[in-house]
Structures are given as C-alpha cells and as structure tokens.
Structure 1
C-alpha cells in the first residue's frame, strides 16, 4: 500500500513545487505578465486558425494554463493552444463540426492522463532530433499556409469549403481571392511583421506582436478599412459543462482523439525537456507532466475550449523574462482572464489579418536555418529522416510523419549497427604446424542480431578446405535470439558437412541465451567449449593429426 501511495504522490501537486517562491516571486509575477501579453495574440490567432473561435483560444490559454501550471511536471512550462494542435484540429472541424472539438479535448485529455499514470513519459526520448526538427519544419509550413485564407478573403471559409490539406487550401483561397480586399489585408500583415521584427532590436522585452496588432487595429478604425475582425467576445468565461454527444459520434471521434493525445503528449514533453535545458529551473517529471496536460485538456474541453499542450515559444519567453516557479505560468493565465473581463470589446475589434500576420511571423521563427544546415550536412540517415518527416507532415499527417521519421531513422540505425558486426579469419598462433591450413579461427565481434544474422551465416558456412572451425566469441556485444539461432545453424551446418566446430570465449552475459536457444547443445561434444584460445587451437591440431593418421 505504501508503494502505491509513493507512486501516486509523485504525480500530484505538493508544497515542494513552490519551495523557491520566496526568492523568485517578484520575477515570476513580472514574467507572468510578460507571457500573458505575448500569449494574447497567439491564443486568439490559434483559436481562429483552428476553425473554432478566438474565444476558444482564450479559454484554452486561461483554463489549461492554470491547470497545467499547478498539476504539470515542469516549474516553468506555459501551456495553451499551439500551432501544432491547430494543424490537427482543422480537419476535425471540417469533418465533424466545431462542437466536436470540446469532446475531442476531453477524450484526448483522458488518454494523456492515463499515459501519465502508466508512466509512459519517457517514450519521447526515443524520437531522434532530426525527426523532431523535421516535424517542427512541417508544422511551421502548415501554420504559415493556414493564414492565407484569412488574407485573401473577408469571409471565413465554411467547413468543407476548402481542402483539409493546408497546401491545397492555400492554392484554393488564392484562386478565389477578393483582390479588392487583399491590399488591405496584406498591408495589415506587413505592419505586424515589421513591428514584430523591429521591436526586439529596440528592446527584447517589447511585445512586438501586441504592439503591431494595436497599431493595425487603430489604423483600420481610423481609415475605415474593410478588414474582417474577431467579432463580439463574451466578457466572462463560459460555465463548465460536459460536451453533448451521442454514441455514434463518440465512436467516430476516437481516432482523432488518439491523434490529438499523441501530439499533446509529444509536444508537451519536448517543450518541458527543452525548458529544463534553458535555465536552472529544477528538474521536470515527464509522467507528472502528462498527468497535468491531460487534466488541462479535460478542463479546457469542459469550458468549451481546445486541447492544450506545452508551448515552447511562450515557455522560452517565461524563462527569459525571469520566471522560475509555477507562479509565473499561473500569472500568465490570470492576465488573460483579466483581459477577457475588462477588455473583451476592444479585443473583438482586432482584424483577423493582423492575427494572420502574427502567426506567419511566428511560423518563420520556428525554423532555424542553422539547424536545418546542420542536419542536412550531418549524415545521410539524419538528412533523409529530417526531409521525410517534414514532407509527410505537410502532405499527410503529423502523427504519421513522426512514425515514418522514427522508422526511417530506425532503419538507418539498424543498418549501421549491422555493418558494425565483424567476421574475421585470424592466423593461428605460432609456431605453425603441419595441417594448420585445415583449421580456421573465425572471430565474430560487435552486435550479432537479426539484421546481421544472414551475413554472418554466409561468411562462416562458405568456408572450404577446413576440417575444424574455431568460433571466437569473446568480442560479441549485443546478441538477440535471432543471432543466437544463427550460431546454432552455423554449428549444425558445419557439423553436418563433417567439420568440427569449437567455440571459444562465450561472454558470461550470453551463456543463458546460448543454452536456451541451443547453441551449446549443437556442439558435437561438451568438451568443444573453451575459455582459452591456446587450448582450443591445441585441441583443433590434435583433431587434425588424428584425422590425418586415420
């Protein structure tokens, strides 16, 4: 019972989460305000881009931001709506309608919560770096292309009107663009982009995205620009309620929910891991992070929001601004709540084109040219995994892209590991004796597993003109069941041809496997197993002498 409590206690909030608060609270409050200002346009933009609403984006940032900050496994993680999640939600909205998003959020939250309880938080460590970067590049391209319909037309596309693929939808929206509207929208995008690029050069703490949005909103009002705006926003959070769905719809949402859950888990764990490397903010618990993110998505769905994940951009802003405890992330959510309570009217007058400009610049900042050059110039395997992941992310699906990227990286890794398996014929110890040419000493080193098994089998069994083969195995590293079985087949094949097989130097860690699979039983005599090479060679020479005499 005590072990169960210990396991559960590691997944729930405790007073130890705030042990640094006395020293860091001033910096945490300032960082929280800064992140809240930065998060406002992103929450609005991601809510609109997902096809749900700007309100849903704000609700997600507030509700999920608080829950994940309190229950998550990182001291500095900032959670809310993200671009990667928007990419998945767009086809869900197109296929099932806006009302399905809250249901998917709750279902995905339950799945992520279960993954945390089952201690699956370390799974993300199996995703190679090139796959992560290819995934990020693909998401950045999709986020950028998703803004094209907001720039080309004053009317939001109805569900099913545009393709669920961002590339196709961008071309469709350009073909049907309102060219009287485009100059105004492109002007708004240009102003926001210029301000966002210039603000950090003036002072790195200036919220360029918010300043750009304010400028465009004021200019649009003064000039009477025909820019579509966010519209009326509620002046309070909606009341929590269970999403209303029937069993048929619930079954059709199961696969989208698993996809959302997988993305939420991967993105949140990657963000938390990166955050832990940016500053000394204390360790993070990946299993508790999944629990916190699962509860955050459940809470967001109950309030009519979207699935939430850890957001690396906002988390990085939090750390750079001095955030060191959970108070900063909580403060960011409180700031957004205050904006909803007191400034929903002005926020509703923000042009959608201005939000599109924010997300376009955000997408371009997600891609680092130095990182791309490093991966493409590293190894062929890494370059292929990077490109394949990015292409599949844009053209097919995010989760499929990660699976294919990991598979490609795995195939190259297995091939490289198989090439490290060596089969070498060694000379016999001096002085030479008559009949030594009938003895072959074969050293097998490196890993012996399924990918190298056939090559090792062919190299050894193709020997000719010998009557004794000594298999040296002291340098064997990894051996799996297939590798052990191949050794059995080698001994059996040679013995069937009248070739005596001696085995020298079975590593202690492989003895049990060799006995289980039958490697040792395949030897003609139990005395054919040696620990010393000289003894094995002397036995082989005596065997050759006896054969010659006979």
Structure 2
C-alpha cells in the first residue's frame, strides 16, 4: 500500500522541511560527483532529481534519499574518458535493467547474509569517506595551477562558519524542533555571511573552481528524453556490459546496506526487493533523460532522518526542491556559504560513525574486530562494493574455520570387541581433515561402527571424506558399518554406499549441497 507520509499535518510539515534541507545538501554533492565522473554538473543534478523522486515513489524504503553518488561515479570515469558520455547513459540504462531483474528474482533478501561486523565496517568506513570528501572544500585554486589548502583569513572564516553551523545543529533541538536544525543552520549562517560581508567561499565559488568557468551555474531546464546515441552492435554491448554490472552491484549493495541502517534507526523495515526495482527503474530513466544514475546516499539519508523526515514525501520534496533550484532559484542556492553545508555533513559524519564500536574492542571475538576494521579500511581505500564482498568472504572463512574445529568423536569398544565412533559436529569442506584424523584403521579392531546421528553432511567434500574413510578400512581389511546417514547421502556415496546400515525410523532427513543431485 502506498503511503505518502504518516498521518497528521505535523508529519507533512516535517517531511517537506526535511526535504528542503536535504535538497540543499544534494547540490554540492551532485556537482562534485559529476566532475568526478567527467560529466557536466547538470548531468549530476538531473541524476539526483530523478533518482530521488522515482525511488521515493516506488522504492521499498520511505525516507531514504537516493542521488548521484561517489561510489558509482568512480566506476564511470574510465567509460566516459574512453568512449564518451553517450556510452555512460547506455550503461546506466543497462545497469537499471539488471537491478530490476535482481528485484524480480528476489535477490534483495541476500542482504541478510551481510554479518554485523561488516555492517559496522561499512558504516564507519562510509563516515570516514564522507569526512574526507568534505576536506576538498578547504582547497582553492593556486597561482601555480591545481589546488592548494586555504590559509589565513579565508581558512579561519571557513572554520568559524563550520563550527557555528555544527553548534546550531547541536543546540537548536534543545530549544525547539519546529524547524529542522540543519535547515535553520544553513539559513542563519548564510544570512550572517551576507550581512557581515564575510569572505566566505560560496556554492557558486565551488562551481567556478571545479569547472574553471567564471559563469558556471546550476541553472538549467527540465531534463529532456534522449535515447543514447551509440551503435546497436555487440561491440557496444561488450563495452558497456562490464561497467553496467559493476554499477548495478555497487548501487544495490550501497542502497540495501543503507536501507538496513535506516531500518535500525527508525525501528521499521524496508522491502529490499522492491527497493532493487525502484533503484533499477530510476537508473534506467536516468539513462534516457541525461542523468548519470546513482543509488542511496547515506549522508543525505541521515540528514533526512535527523531532520524528522519519515515518509515518502520527504524524498519527493527533496527532489522537487532540487528541480526548483535548477529551474528558478539557482541564484539563491549559489550564495550559500559552502562552510554551512560542510558543517551539516560533519554532523552527519559524527552521527553516522558507530562510536560504540570502540567500546566493543576486547569484548567481541578478535575475528569480528578484524573484519570490521578491514571493511572500513577497504571502503576508504577502494570502494564500498569491494569492501563488503571482502568482508563477507572473510566472515564466511572465519565461520567455516570455527565450525571445522567442532568435529569430534566419542569412542568406546563393547564386550564383543566392536569399536564405536559417535560423531559430533558438521562434516563439510572445512572439517574433512579433522574428520579423517579421528580414525585409525590400522590400530582399530576388526569391526568398526561409525554413528552419524549427531552430525550432518553438508557438501560434496563431506561425501568424499566418507568414501575415502571406507576405502581406508577396506585396504586395512577391516569391516566398517555406517549408521544414521540420511537417504540422500546414501544415494550419493560411491564406495561406502554398501556399508550404510538403513534404519527408516531413525535415519535423519536433510539435503546435501551436491551438484550430482540435479
């Protein structure tokens, strides 16, 4: 069921004002990421508008903000540089189709497989990335060319306005919550800078520095429908397909992880598969209307949540306000001191970073600590998608290693000289060596019984280990009996199949991960 906002006029007011605040923070981010990708500022702004409004309307997570992001921009650089922006538009369309397919196939549920240490690393790493991204606002063009760090009065003015912005955001909610603190801070700092005639770098100054054009502006018209003009050949597909897959994967990983974070903050639950479809539709539309595509933005989403935005109306308002700036109010936005927006983002960094993770040091397993730090470091040094994949793989290996150590056996010999092995723990690729080390065919009596009642065979490696065990006892001239092995294992065993004792009443029933089943 579509619900625009929560019931009551207060919710509408909160969503609209929160959307206005978010839209102000979207402008410099969209422009900056457009330059990172090597495209015009309007391509980034159009992307932020279309991503924001479409995902807010049909996505699976109300109050989550989507737009042009750095994680996807860095993937686009090589494609734009080598083949031009038209190939980028085509790749974004294809990435959207892939994301829609992921949603239709219900692949969004796999976000549940991301362990909590990986989530902590993701949040902390992204907070650091957002912080580092703001530092470029403290650089200005140098006389020798390139960029140089601010010094003297401009630096102290910048730092003073950043500190004032952060102070307003921190203390204003203690006095009143009628207006989002971030919006109030931006307005107050802007008026103060204009009234006092402070030499504060503005959004327009950022545009001019990035583009090198004194007349640079965010002003523009409505995005126009445009089919990417690339040859419809397999060669074109070969060029855009790898980039499209990476864009789709990065976009979904960042969006679904951001959705999980917002679920936790708001104590509600988003719909992952629906969000995949929403992101896909938004990216496909981007490609046909001259946008660079994007995904969920954790920084702007946190601004929205902290400003009281809870419904779809907040994201819709942010997108419409952004479009309004492009069409009618570019001059008002361009006079905002960039220090105010940096201050807002610094507060987002402080709210996003999981400071409690420091208190967990020494209280959680060392492996979990290592995974969290690893994901944060890889997020900062490379990108989010690689970091999450690395984190999940390392977590899976740690899990396998810990479970491999659980394989053990209780043994006894009865009065008839028959030795019993009662196995405990999972039998899979990680525990087959521990399983093999349990048995001593040369030293065992003539007859041996292995009981699988308290263990479970998980994969092909486990089946091969049982067959190898049977072969070892055959070579030693000993008789081996295998009890309480399920029917599926019995059917898949080659050498040990005849040694299995069948007990229909007691044998367990479960499935084994093995290609031969198909």
Work out whether 1:177 is the aligned partner of 2:177.
no
Structure 1: 5+ residue stretches without partners: 1-15, 162-172, 534-550
Q: Encode CA deviations 1:170-206: one digit per residue, 9 max, x unaligned.
A: xxx7xx62555x7515632541243124323221745
2:254·2:385 contact (CA, 8 Å) conserved in 1? no
What are the within-5 Å matches in structure 2 for residues 104-503 of structure 1? Answer: 104-154=91-141, 177=148, 183-185=153-155, 187-203=157-173, 205=177, 206-214=179-187, 217-218=190-191, 222-224=197-199, 228-230=205-207, 231-234=216-219, 236-245=221-230, 251-279=238-266, 284-315=270-301, 318=304, 325-352=311-338, 354-374=340-360, 377-426=363-412, 428=414, 433=415, 436=417, 439-461=418-440, 464-503=443-482
Q: Secondary structure at the match of 1:69?
A: helix
Distance 1:94 1:216, change over 3 A: farther
Q: Secondary structure at the match of 1:17?
A: coil
Work out whether 1:65 is the aligned partner of 2:52.
yes
1:105·1:307 contact (CA, 8 Å) conserved in 2? yes
More moved, 375-384 vs 255-264: 375-384
More moved, 291-300 vs 412-421: 291-300
How far 1:384 sits from its partner (Å)? Answer: 1.9
How far 1:295 sits from its partner (Å)? Answer: 1.0
Q: Encode CA deviations 1:302-359: one digit per residue, 9 max, x unaligned.
A: 3333323233454455556665543343233233333444421121233455544544
* Rounded Cα–Cα distance in structure 2 between residues aligned with 1:419 and 1:514: 25
Task: Tell me which residue corresponds to 1:38.
Answer: 21
Task: Tell me which residue corresponds to 1:10.
Answer: none
Distance 1:179 1:274, change over 3 A: closer
Q: Encode CA deviations 1:435-476: one digit per residue, 9 max, x unaligned.
A: 63xx32111112111111122122213561522211111111
1:192·1:209 contact (CA, 8 Å) conserved in 2? no
1:466·1:499 contact (CA, 8 Å) conserved in 2? yes
- Number of corresponding residues: 485
How far 1:56 sits from its partner (Å)? Answer: 4.2
Task: Tell me which residue corresponds to 2:489.
Answer: 513
Task: Tell me which residue corresponds to 2:67.
Answer: 80
1:384·1:408 contact (CA, 8 Å) conserved in 2? no
Q: Secondary structure at the match of 1:223?
A: coil
* Rounded Cα–Cα distance in structure 2 between residues aligned with 1:211 and 1:104: 39
How far 1:367 sits from its partner (Å)? Answer: 1.3
How far 1:49 sits from its partner (Å)? Answer: 2.6
* Rounded Cα–Cα distance in structure 2 between residues aligned with 1:405 and 1:397: 12
- Name the TM-score, length of structure 1 as normaliser: 0.77
Task: Tell me which residue corresponds to 1:536.
Answer: none
* Rounded Cα–Cα distance in structure 1 between residues aligned with 2:7 and 2:319: 18
Q: Secondary structure at the match of 1:125?
A: helix
How far 1:134 sits from its partner (Å)? Answer: 1.7
* Rounded Cα–Cα distance in structure 2 between residues aligned with 1:317 and 1:137: 16
Q: Encode CA deviations 1:193-230: one digit per residue, 9 max, x unaligned.
A: 43124323221745454445445555655235566243
1:443·1:473 contact (CA, 8 Å) conserved in 2? yes
More moved, 53-62 vs 482-491: 53-62
1:229·1:350 contact (CA, 8 Å) conserved in 2? no
* Rounded Cα–Cα distance in structure 1 between residues aligned with 2:27 and 2:455: 58
Q: Secondary structure at the match of 1:263?
A: helix
More moved, 254-263 vs 367-376: 367-376
Q: Encode CA deviations 1:46-82: one digit per residue, 9 max, x unaligned.
A: 1133125654444333222221122212344332234
* Rounded Cα–Cα distance in structure 2 between residues aligned with 1:95 and 1:532: 67
Distance 1:324 1:211, change over 3 A: closer
Distance 1:59 1:186, change over 3 A: farther
1:37·1:207 contact (CA, 8 Å) conserved in 2? no
* Rounded Cα–Cα distance in structure 1 between residues aligned with 2:362 and 2:261: 22
- The alignment yields a C-alpha RMSD, in angstroms, of 3.6
Structure 2: 5+ residue stretches without partners: 208-215, 507-518
2:59·2:276 contact (CA, 8 Å) conserved in 1? yes
What are the within-5 Å matches in structure 2 for residues 13-32 of structure 1? Answer: 16-18=1-3, 24=7, 26-32=9-15
